[in-house]
Amino acid sequence: MDTLLSIISTISGFVWGPVMLILLVGTGVYLSFGTRWRTISKLGYAFKLLMQGRKKEDQKGDGDITPFQSLMTALSATIGTGNIAGVATAIFLGGPGAVFWMWVTALFGMATKYGEAVLAVKYRETMPDGTYVGGPMYYIKNGMGKNWKWLGFLFALFAAVAAFGIGNMVQSNSVARAVERAVSIPYWVTGLVLAGMTFAVVIGGIKRIGEVTERLVPFMAAVYVIGALIVIFANIENLGMAFKMIFTDAFTGTAAAGGFAGSAIAQAMRFGVARGVFSNEAGLGSAPIAHAAARTQDPVRQGIIAGLSPLIDTIIVCTLTALLIIMTGAWQSGETGAELSQMAFNIGLPGLGDFIVGFGLIIFAFSTMLAWCYYGQVSIEYIFGLKGVMPYRLVYVVVIFIGAMVKLDFVWTFSDMMNGLMIVPNLIALLVLSPVIFRITKEYFNNN
């Protein structure tokens, strides 16, 4: 296992090097300028479209789920352990300044998410069973031409495998550890329960996933946000200090203190961007798979809604977690991952804090596993056709059980590596097809 971990760490370090970070943020900057910053200037319009997209009978156009359900499905994949364990890991390894770089990634990531969804709807296909599928592999094949089909295949392959990391083992592993620590339930029991619950939903396809996530995501986000706000207001005197540390350390780095792994500016940037992407998945190419199933008559409408994801996920939810960790002083404790977030909540809200983090972790992880099973399913469907769907679902739920008992270091490193490999073909497609994004965006807003 140590040898395998070493190999994966080496690959992960390469794909998450300076070139990847520049490509990620740079693509977001380019798309932001190319779309004239409409993902930010049209925020009010985006929320209006989102609310209008709640009722299926009111939607015009083709698709399997409502625009609201598609965003909730995408958010169910991103509002997960990245908001609890991922933020904590970023601060532990990169210092408070890492939070600033998470914000930067999210702001530019809104344009990236917009572009992904626009292309996903424009170039989606209808399967023999009547369902709508799309995502990077489809906009590569249908937008870039047959000579690029190999790139679409690579993305589908990376995504199908990555689902077992970011959307599967990371989630079940974090939940199993939290439950064992809280109520001494063995890892394997938690893994078995999570596997069974996930299978019961994903067997119904995207329609059942959409029905579950549209109820689960708003509820779980509200509980977590309200709990975090209670702790923040209870420690309001430290709020200014926390923001000052975030902005200052983003450009000065943080010296080693206690059990904290010291970092410089480069470390803050690296872990801020890496965990920011892990949190909101902008540039990863996963969310457009969900948005491609939306019932809509215009790609831009769905793109505008998709752009809300990094705002909700990173700017709001992740920031609340980060503020708690910094305001309570827990970030200097030497803890990391979900344990660090749990400690911060418990310091600010003794007793109840454990419940909020534990509840959030379980529900967040469960919803993430639902969405990523669908992402992996569509990817395997692209490669093998409909015949590959059921075997993939079965393997996926088995891996949930296995992931609950795997060493955490291996799980996180494996996820980082697979995320990086997914990003490459998706960013190439976004850049090559950016003139299409800019053209149909201009046409839409000129006519609306």
Q: Which region holds residue 334: left if phi is over 0, alpha if psi is between -120 and 50, else beta?
A: left
- Taking only the tens place, the pLDDT of each residue in 334-384 is 666 667 777 888 787 777 777 777 777 788 888 889 999 999 999 999 999
Give dist(CA 251, CA 268) in Å, integer: 9
Q: Give buried/exposed letters for 132-145 (b at 16+ CB in 10 A, else e).
A: bbbbbbbbbbbbbe
Rounded mean pLDDT, 45-59? 81
Q: Is residue 2 part of a domain?
A: no
Percent residues over pLDDT 70 in the chain: 93
| Beta-carbon contacts of residue 345 (< 8 Å; ≥ 6 apart) | 227, 228, 231, 324, 353, 354, 356, 357
Q: Give me the pLDDT at residue 196, please.
A: 92
| Beta-carbon contacts of residue 251 (< 8 Å; ≥ 6 apart) | 97, 265
Q: Give me the pLDDT at residue 222, please.
A: 86
For the ranges 275-284, 348-357, 381-390, which has the lowest average pLDDT? 348-357
In the chain, the number of structural domains is: 1
Give dist(CA 268, CA 336) in Å, integer: 15
Q: Is residue 151 part of a domain?
A: yes
Rounded mean pLDDT, 215-235? 85
Q: Give me the pLDDT at residue 437, please.
A: 97
pLDDT tier, 265 (very low <50, low <70, confident <90, very high otherwise):
low
Which two tokens mark 36?
């004239």
CATH of the domain at 344: 1.20.1740
Q: Is residue 82 part of a domain?
A: yes
Q: Is residue 5 part of a domain?
A: no
Which of helix, strand or coil describes residue 283?
Answer: coil
Q: Decide: 228 and 321 in contact? Cβ < 8 Å.
A: yes
Q: Is residue 361 part of a domain?
A: yes
Q: Is residue 264 part of a domain?
A: yes
Measured on CA atoms in the order 101, 107, 109, 112, is the torsion positive or negative?
A: negative
DSSP H helices, 235-351, are 239-252, 265-280, 287-291, 299-306, 308-310, 319-327, 337-348
Give dist(CA 151, CA 323) in Å, integer: 40
Q: Is residue 3 part of a domain?
A: no
Which of helix, strand or coil describes residue 158?
Answer: helix
Which of helix, strand or coil describes residue 28?
Answer: helix
Q: Is residue 4 part of a domain?
A: no
Look at the pTM and tell me if it is higher than 0.95: no
| Residues in a beta bridge with 333 | none
- Taking only the tens place, the pLDDT of each residue in 14-43 is 777 777 778 888 999 999 999 999 999 999
Q: Decide: 315 and 231 in contact? Cβ < 8 Å.
A: no
Percent residues over pLDDT 90 in the chain: 32
Rounded mean pLDDT, 290-297? 90
Q: Which region holds residue 298: left if phi is over 0, alpha if psi is between -120 and 50, else beta?
A: beta
DSSP string, 163-215: TTIIIIIHHHHHHHHHHHHHH---HHHHHHHHHHHHHHHHTTHHHHHHHHHHH
Give dist(CA 79, CA 370) in Å, integer: 12
Of 167, 185, 164, 166, the closest CA to residue 176 belongs to 185
Residue 59 belongs to what domain range? 10-447
Give dist(CA 53, CA 61) in Å, integer: 12
